[in-house]
Structures are given as structure tokens and as C-alpha cells.
Amino acid sequence: MSNLAHLYAAQFRKNMAVQLQYRVAAAIWLVGSVVQPTVYLVVWTTVAQTQGGAVGGLTVNDFAAYYIILMFVEHLTFTWIMWEFDWQIRDGSFSRVLLLPVHPIHDSITDNIAYKLMGLVMLIPAGVLLSWTFRPNFDFQLNNVLIFIPVFVIAFLMRFLFGYTLGLAAFWINRVQALNTTYFVLQLFFSGRLTPLELLPAPLRTIADILPFQWFTAFPVDLLLGRIDSADFPRALLTQLAWLIATFLLFRIVWHRGIRKYSAFGS
């Protein structure tokens, strides 16, 4: 365990140095992390104001709280790793990664964390500005904040493993952009990013309950804001844990089969 901690510390320092070298590019990407939830917030705020101040029981201040917290949760849980596997495998650079004495997922995780920590430098001022502008209805309870921490960690691990596993499809598919785009579209609609899930029509809400995406973002956000009924929380947490375990098992299976496929291709 101590060796793994030293590994993560070293890789984190390396990846943070890389992120600082490309800070301008990172800042450009971070603009999208702020603009997208802000646009959704403005749209739903406008809709709520035209309908007497609320939509589906959510007031203007509720929408503000939801999308500001969503902005942070989305930033801290998302991954881009599935876009990188395509060219790494096709140009052979993935072979160098496989020669390392540790699994390449560890370097990907520290790279992800380094980018996100650096991104908070922009997101925190943006969150303060949005809070001052839209007056969100934050009603944080200590128990919700404490429970949010493990729920957020599960959401991060689940989403990262899901994206990593999706990226491994490049072992079998030459061009994975279409698959990645489909994944991002489904996630946009059914994770709570586009709209709070309770505002979806009943058929779409049923689909959202079947798919895993709400456990990435909507569940942590609603939990922190106190919108999860205490009677429903145990079932929701067990469901999120079940999805994490299923995603991990799927990752292990796809990884081992993909490596054999990659070795056979290169032999």
C-alpha cells in the first residue's frame, strides 16, 4: 500500500507539471465547464420565471443551487480517457505504456486528478460569481455533507472506470469516435446535466433509472442539496455501489481480453 502511495505521489507531481505546461489549453477547456451549466441555468431560470417562479416544484433559487453544484461535481468526476485510447492503440504508443511495471490506469487517474485540481482555480471564482448573481438556495446539512464524500468518491471511480472501459473498445474497433459520441449524448440526457431528472417525462425518467448515468452526477448533487429522501437513500446507495462493482468487473474482463487481442495483433 505504501508503494502505491509513493507511486501516486510521483505520478501526480509529474502530471501536475505537465498540466502547468499546458495551462492555457486547460483554461480553454475549463471555459466549457463553466459555460455549459450556466447556459442551462439561465434557460431554466427563464422558464421558471415565465411560469410563476417554479417548474415542477423547483424555484429559480433551486435551479441555481442545482446547476452551481452540478458544475463542480461534473468537473470533478468527468473523464476524457476514452478519446485517447483510439490513437494510442492505432499508432503503437500504447506498447510503451504496457512495458511499465504498473497498470497504466494509475497514471491516467493521477493525470485526471491533476487537471481537476488545477481547474478549481477557475471554477471556484466562477461558482462565487454565479452564486452572487443567481442567489442559489443552498441548504447544506452536516449529515448530507458527510455522506456526500463517499458518494462522490464512488461516483468518480464509477465514471472513470466506465470511461476507461469504453476506451478499451479501441482494441477491437478502429474508430471509436462514434461510440464515444453516443456515450456522451446519452450521458447528457440521462445524468441530470441537461435538466434535473425529476423534470424528465415519465418514459425518459424510466430510462434514466435503468441506465447508470444518474449515479455519476445527479445523485451526488441531489444528496448534497438534501433532495434525497432518507428512506430512499439506502436503496440509492446500494444501487450506486452495485453499478461500481459491475463496472469494475466489466473493466477487468475487457482489459484482459483486450490485452490478448492487442498482443495477437502486434505479434
The model carries a pTM of: 0.90
Q: In terms of pLDDT, which residue wins out, 100 or 154?
A: 154
* Residue 108 pLDDT grade (very low, low, confident, very high; cuts 50, 70, 90): confident
**Lowest-pLDDT range of 116-125, 140-149, 254-263:** 254-263
List the chain domain ranges: 2-266
> Higher pLDDT residue, 155 or 115?
155
What's the pLDDT at 49?
87
Average pLDDT over the chain, rounded to an integer = 87
Q: Which of 3-12, 195-204, 221-230, 251-260 has the lowest mean pLDDT?
A: 3-12
When pLDDT is averaged across residues 231-259 and rounded to a whole number, the result is 94
> Is the pLDDT assigned to residue 18 strictly greater than 80?
no
Q: Which residue has the higher pLDDT, 98 or 43?
A: 43
Separation of alpha carbons 223 and 147, rounded Å: 8
Among 42-56, 83-97, 168-182, the least confident range:
83-97
Mean pLDDT of all residues in 168-173: 85
Confidence of residue 2 (pLDDT cuts 50, 70, 90): low
Q: How confident is the model at residue 263, as a pLDDT?
A: 59
The predicted pLDDT at position 165 comes to: 93
Mean pLDDT, residues 180-204 taken together = 91
For residue 246, pLDDT beyond 80:
yes
d(Cα 194, Cα 43) in Å, to the nearest integer?
10
